[in-house]
Structure formats: C-alpha cells, structure tokens
Chain A
Amino acid sequence: MSAPRSPWTQRFDRLEAALDRFGRLVMEWWTWPLAMFLAGALALTASLVCYPVENDVHAFGRDLMGPCEFRELYDQPCASCGMTRSWVWIARGHPLIALRYNVAGVLLWCALVWGGLVGFLRLVRRDPTVLRAPLVASGSLVTGWIVLYMIAWFLRISGFYPLD
C-alpha cells in the first residue's frame, strides 16, 4: 500500500493536471486556426480604423502619435519606428509609402493577414492542413523577419533614415 500523499503533493498534482488540461486545449485542431484568424482580423481592423494624417496616425479624430520617448531620450529612432504608419498605408493599398516607413512592418502585416485568411479557411473546412507551409519555410520567414527588423534598425541608427 502506498503512503498517503501530503497536502502539498496533492496541490502540486492538481496544478499539473490543470496545466495538462490547458495544454491539451491548446493542442485542439481549431485552436491555432482560430488564433491565426483573430490575429489577422485584429491587424486588419486596427490598420483600417487608424488613418494617416500627414506624417501622423489618427483614430476616432484623435492623434495617436505622441512624441517618441525613445527618440527623445537617445535622439535615435527605435526599432519599431514607422511600424504603425506602415500598417496604415499598406492597408490602404500604398505599398511603396508603407515600405518607406518600415519594411519589417509591411512584412509582418502581410504575414498576419495571410495567416488570418489561412486560419479562416481551415476553420471553415474543418481541416488544419489547408495551405500548410513546410516547417522550414515558416521558420525561415520568422528568422528572416527578425533579421530584417534588426538590419533596418541598425541602418537607421547609422544614418540611413528615409523618414527624415
């Protein structure tokens, strides 16, 4: 006969069981397509609700772009400088202006919207394999995005800053 388990061990077992249940929920076939669809819908909605006014971004009649705290502290643009403006312009069909604001921002927006579309198709067809990309391709896209984001920032810090 096994020894009685202490209250702490029982609590720990319950915690493990709860985490295991949550993990299994995350593994359900519809979780990732739903997350992709929601992320894509959110990106598209946010970039359409906000609109460009000269070099700023407004929403519901208010200016969203206050002075950049990073720029005020260091006199340099931060890594995400121009990200919001690139989303707002690409959503309105102006890829060249959007690229000028932030190359990585445009790529992120395209990936999110494409992911949202794929997620929607998977949910509708109840098939998580619809338009599945090879793992190497997805990994390359993520790695490439991080590299692009950093390169663009270092270029800006070193003086190549098209927004000025």
Chain B
Amino acid sequence: MAKRTAGGPAIALIVSGVLGLLYALVYFVWTLMPVFWGVLAVVANISEKGFSSETIEAALLFLSMPLVQAVLFAITVVTALITLFAGVRFNQWRSKGLVWLGLLCSTLTPILGAVGNSASMLNCGTVGVGLFGCLLGNAGTIPVFVIGLVASVWGIVVLSGDAGAHFDEA
C-alpha cells in the first residue's frame, strides 16, 4: 500500500516555514542595524561622559527598542523552524502534536514580526530611514502573514476532519 502523505496543507506549511525563515533573514538586517547604532550611541555617550546614573539611563533608553527587536527576532526564527519541521512531519502523517504547534507557529511568526515592526519603525526613525522607508521595509510581513494564515486554516480543517483521526498510525 502506498504510504499516505498529506499533500496540499503540508506543502503550504513547509512554504510558510521557508518564507518565515526568509523573513527572519530580512528581519535580521532590520535588527542588526538598530542594535549596531544603539551600541555605538551608548559607547560614544559613556566615553564622553563616563559611567553615571544619567548615562546608564540613556543606555537603557538607546538599547530598549533594539533589545525588544532582537528578542522578537530570536522567537521568530524558532517559530519559523517549528513551522518548517511540522510541515515535513505533516506530510509524513506523523507527530500530531508537533503539527498542531506548527499550525499555530505559521500564523504566530508574522504576527511577532509585525509587533517587532513597531519597534523597528522607531529604530528606523532613530537612524533616519523615514516613515515611508520603514513601511516599505516592513511590507514583507503581509505575504508571510497571508500564507501562514492560509496554511493554518487549511491544516486545522484537515486535522479536525476524519483524516485527523488516522494520525501517527504506523
């Protein structure tokens, strides 16, 4: 008997995971830039004025948004990897729990990215990219979100149906 594969929804999940990783790659640049400028500003400030409560407060202010963005970037990479892995297992009709997690992550990745965009927009302003440049740079969220949402809904419909009951059968 031919081995069962999920086909469409699994492929959608794999595509969503790959797009999520590509998105994370672009997002890495958006994260690196403000972190670099933030650290530079802190070093310049401290070397000019020395260590004091004022410079530490300024350092926290400079680095708060880049740090939020860096943490969101790390989570985005993890959720994209889980989505990709879940897509592979979905196609093999294995690890139902992992597949559910992947279906959640495929939507969560661009949402986290969108939240990170708020931080990114503030950082862009700090480095002088401007509002239009920020909107353009962060526009990649929309296709990743749409494909992630389609993969999630498609997968949930398949798993909630009769076919879902035959998961993890050898």
Contacts and interface: CB of A to CB of B under 8 A. Distances in A.
Interface in B120-167: 121-122, 125-126, 130-131, 153, 157
B160 to A, nearest CB: 9
A26 B125 contact: no
B97 A73 contact: no
Interface of A: 16, 19-27, 69-70, 73-74, 76, 78-80, 135, 139
Contacts of B125: 70, 73-74
Interface residues of B, number: 21
A74 B118 CA distance: 13
Across the A-B interface, the 3 shortest Cβ-Cβ residue pairs: A23-B97, A73-B125, A24-B97
A22 B101 contact: yes
The majority secondary structure among interface residues of chain A is helix
Contacts of B77: none
Contacts of B97: 19-27
B95 A16 contact: yes
Given A73-B125, A74-B131, A78-B118, A24 B153 contact: no
A24 B131 contact: no
A73 B118 CA distance: 13
Contacts of A20: 95-98
Contacts of A22: 97, 101
